[in-house]
Structure 1
């Protein structure tokens, strides 16, 4: 009975006979041996882009022409025992086919990487355009609210025109024709000043 109770207590408290090793997050994982070789896909992609850029230059065409011409001249004019590819130039055809069979996938890989970069740039441009449109709409609303607010504000010209209208109304109301405002009094002594 006692061993069963000990086992139950260990199960309840979480203790086991053999603790599992915990993976520590602050330490790198130990190196695992792999059967297949590993390579960095980014490094391979950069390498393929360099090759694709070189294949698309005039320098590549010049070098390829020089190699083919030297190959043909060597195998036509060299002594018989030093020739390695006689007239139908089958080995040259094989080398050119091999070069083409590797060049095409490398060019496609470089194009795919460029498409991915273009897609990311397009997405960033789209987000920037959306932000610009939102900012423009916000500024448009702000300008419209300022215009509405300015429409309710009394400007200097409006106040001046209102004051002139009031002066005209007051002058029309005075039956004796006296000047209402002191600034409009004639220059000289008034009868009231004596």
Structure 2
């Protein structure tokens, strides 16, 4: 064994380090399995669904049309006529052609089925209407807030204009100030009296 070790060429340290790195990477690769990265520049593959797909918007519009028709007098009239014809046919008609004799179990089942479908459709239509009303109310609230802000801004501007106009000298104010000034000067005898206003010719004539 010693001879074999002596005859075996020694591996360089770099090769031993590379071998340890390769073995370590192999162990890590088997221990940790990383999921492939999702490419954002490529569309995702379509998933196969067992349940049928439908358009919620189209179904909502259909429910609104049905609910709108159920709330009309035409539907009530037609349903009343249908029930009356149904009952009279199964009472007056011959026994061979009657399909729902008294106590009209099939009619009760049909009306129950119609009511069980009508109630969710009406609720769905109401929910859609509530959503639209909520959006409309939000828009109206924002519009009212903007209108109030505009009104406050205009009010402040008008008040500033009134203050500015109050400081501007108008014609009437200037006239009143001049009249007061003339009155004060007359009171203080700053104006020349009537005798001093005569010219030198008047004085010569007197002499």
Interval containing the TM-score (normalised by the shorter chain):
0.7 to 0.9
C-alpha change, 1:108 and 1:20, in structure 2 (3 Å) is closer
Conserved in 2, the CA contact under 8 Å of 1:52 and 1:106?
Answer: yes
Structure 2 counterpart of 1:116, from 105, 108, 131: 131
1:150 alignment counterpart = 165
Offset at residue 142 of structure 1 (A) = 1.1
Conserved in 2, the CA contact under 8 Å of 1:171 and 1:179?
Answer: no
C-alpha distance in 1 between matches for 2:193 and 2:154: 57
Q: CA RMSD in A?
A: 2.9
2:100 alignment counterpart = 85
1:48 alignment counterpart = 63
How many residue pairs get aligned? The number is 172
Conserved in 2, the CA contact under 8 Å of 1:49 and 1:107?
Answer: yes
Offset at residue 32 of structure 1 (A) = 2.8
Offset at residue 177 of structure 1 (A) = 3.2
Correspondence list, 1:99-178, <5 A: 99-172=114-187, 173=189, 174-177=191-194
TM-score of the superposed pair, with normalisation by structure 1: 0.76
2:10 alignment counterpart = none
C-alpha distance in 2 between matches for 1:49 and 1:157: 71
Task: Tell me which stretches of 4 or more aligned residues in structure 1 moved more than 6 Å.
Answer: none
C-alpha distance in 2 between matches for 1:144 and 1:191: 56
Offset at residue 178 of structure 1 (A) = 7.3
1:58 alignment counterpart = 73
C-alpha distance in 1 between matches for 2:165 and 2:44: 68
Q: Is 1:69 the counterpart of 2:49 in the alignment?
A: no
Correspondence list, 1:8-47, <5 A: 22-24=39-41, 29-47=44-62
Conserved in 2, the CA contact under 8 Å of 1:85 and 1:92?
Answer: yes
Offset at residue 86 of structure 1 (A) = 0.6
Larger Rg: 2
TM-score of the superposed pair, with normalisation by structure 2: 0.72
5+ residue gaps, structure 1, are 9-18, 181-189
C-alpha distance in 1 between matches for 2:195 and 2:112: 114
